[in-house]
């Protein structure tokens, strides 16, 4: 939170504290009680927005990176096994489809790496029963597909989080404006009676 907003929030909390501790003095002014309730609601909204913003995108980015590495490692292992099968059975077309190393899968852009992993997954077609001797069976292929799905579900996570943070910042500014309106337009005017 910007220092300016942090200072305003501290001021709002002070106003609430002073009014709460002197409630007996102003209890007859129901308008002041209503304004205080509004101010407390704005403070709660500000706190909620600040908590959303404080998370940042590091955890989401880390999750995306971990999902990508897990997918790439699984795809490289399957590609190696299918490549060995293709070389053993003189299937150059199949070998060409899976000729990717772990570093090649990780080096390309986000969507390309998931496309490569999916192509590796889809490459064996009818050869899957023969691949069991090379360590690739239905369970291995299901695991690879699950890792591809997990990664593709995380691809847009950091960007979405940044967009949400920008939206929360805009919302926070409007909540501060609303809280200022309550303090300056209602509470300040009613406090003149207690001077």
pTM of the entire structure? 0.54
178-189: per-residue pLDDT in tens? Answer: 999 999 988 888
Non-local CB neighbours of 99 within 8 Å, separated by 6+ positions: 79, 83
d(Cα 71, Cα 52) in Å, to the nearest integer?
29
The answer on 18 and 101 residing in a single domain is: no
Predicted pLDDT of residue 49:
79
Percent of the chain with pLDDT over 90: 44
Same domain, 68 and 105: yes
Please, are residues 125 and 97 in contact by the beta-carbon 8 Å criterion?
no
Q: Could you list the residue range(s) of the whole structural domain that residue 10 is in?
A: 3-54+160-194
| pLDDT band at 162; cut points 50, 70, 90 | low
How confident is the model at residue 26, as a pLDDT? 86
Residues 32 and 48 in one domain: yes
Q: Does 142 lie in the same domain as 166?
A: no
Residues 22 and 40 in one domain: yes
Same domain, 173 and 127: no
- Considering the domain architecture, whether residues 129 and 165 belong to the same structural domain is answered as no
Query: Do 118 and 145 share a domain, yes or no?
Result: yes
CB-based burial label for 163 (10 Å; 0-12, 13-18, 19+):
exposed
Q: How many domains does the chain have?
A: 2
Q: What pLDDT, on a 0 to 100 scale, did the predictor assign at position 109?
A: 85
Extract long-range pairs of 7-12: CB within 8 Å, 24+ residues apart.
Answer: 8/176, 8/179, 8/180, 9/43, 9/46, 11/183, 12/39, 12/42, 12/43, 12/46, 12/179, 12/183
Q: Are residues 99 and 17 in the same domain?
A: no
- Examine the domain organization and report whether 48 and 121 are in the same domain: no
- 73-112 pLDDT tens trace: 999 999 999 999 999 999 999 999 999 999 999 998 878 8
């Amino acid at each position: 939170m910007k220092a300016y907003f942090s200072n305003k929030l501290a001021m709002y909390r002070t106003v609430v504290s002073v009014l709460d501790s002197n409630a007996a003095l102003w209890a007859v002014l129901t308008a002041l009680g209503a304004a205080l309730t509004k101010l407390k609601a704005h403070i709660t909204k500000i706190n909620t927005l600040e908590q959303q913003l404080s998370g940042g995108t590091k955890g989401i980015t880390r999750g995306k990176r971990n999902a990508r590495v897990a997918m790439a490692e699984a795809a490289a292992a399957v590609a190696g096994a299918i490549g060995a099968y293709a070389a053993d059975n003189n299937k150059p077309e199949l070998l060409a489809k899976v000729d990717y190393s772990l570093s090649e899968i990780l080096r390309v852009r986000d969507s390309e790496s998931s496309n490569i992993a999916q192509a590796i997954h889809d490459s064996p077609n009818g050869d899957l029963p023969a691949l069991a001797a090379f360590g690739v069976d239905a369970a291995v292929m299901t695991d690879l597909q699950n890792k591809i799905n997990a990664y593709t579900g995380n691809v847009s996570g950091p960007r979405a989080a940044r967009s949400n943070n920008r939206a929360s910042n805009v919302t926070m500014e409007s909540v501060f404006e609303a809280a200022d309106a309550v303090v300056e337009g209602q509470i300040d005017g009613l406090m003149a009676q207690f001077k």
